[in-house]
Amino acid sequence: MVLADYDPVYRIWAEAEGMCLGEDDSRGRIRLYLGRNPGLCFVATSGKGIVGTVLCGHDGRRGILRHLAVVPGFRKQGVGRALTARCLAALSRSGIRRCNLYVEDNNPAGMRFWEHLGFRQIKDDYRTFQIRLP
Ligand SMILES: CC(C)(COP(=O)(O)OP(=O)(O)OC[C@H]1O[C@@H](n2cnc3c(N)ncnc32)[C@H](O)[C@@H]1OP(=O)(O)O)[C@@H](O)C(=O)NCCC(=O)NCCS
């Protein structure tokens, strides 16, 4: 994925069920994300343009997958699995050994998909804290 893909990619995210978009999904924030994670974010294309997309990054310890979405007419054809495989292979080449992701509570289909691909829910015994920077 490159920044020029932003408009069609954002449309796919906006139309995908179970996807929560926010200020970090603006063009400027995605520019930052792509620059920080070269070779880790992908689009899938067909003759008609972009039909799927995924963001991926890591902090040197854990990989993280975000915003995997495939347009409805192209689902169940292996696109989501292929995009995920590209990300995991790129993480592995970078020396990363585990990859996390978040699924919205209201997205049970998304949870079943990740389970089907071999991801397992971790039973957290911690809370996430956050601070907002200027
Ligand atoms: C989840 C999503 C990305 C799957 O994309 P996809 O291209 O249809 O997935 P694939 O065709 O690659 O499916 C890979 C495998 O998962 C299975 N699968 C797909 N969706 C599934 C679901 N909801 N539940 C269980 N299994 C599912 C497929 O049958 C396939 O199985 P197989 O390879 O053993 O034959 C797509 O449905 C989507 O964009 N959903 C909305 C956004 C979303 O929920 N994103 C993920 C959560 S963040």
CATH topology classification for 3-116: Aminopeptidase (3.40.630)
Rounded to whole angstroms, the Cα distance separating 21 from 104 reads: 11
Any idea where the domains of the chain sit in the sequence? 3-116
Strands 42-46, 98-101: pairing is unpaired
Rounded to whole angstroms, the Cα distance separating 80 from 75 reads: 8
115 within ligand 1 shell (Cβ under 6 A): no
Rounded to whole angstroms, the Cα distance separating 111 from 120 reads: 9
Enter the tokens of residue 113.
């998909």
Q: Which residues contact 91 (CB under 8 A, 6 or more apart)?
A: 40, 56, 58, 63, 99
Q: Which of 12, 45, 76 to mutate to test the pocket of ligand 1 (most atoms within 8 A of CB)?
A: 76
**pLDDT per residue as tens digits for the range 82-103:** 999 999 999 999 999 999 999 9
The structure's pTM equals 0.97
**pLDDT per residue as tens digits for the range 8-57:** 999 999 999 999 999 999 999 999 999 999 999 999 999 979 999 999 99
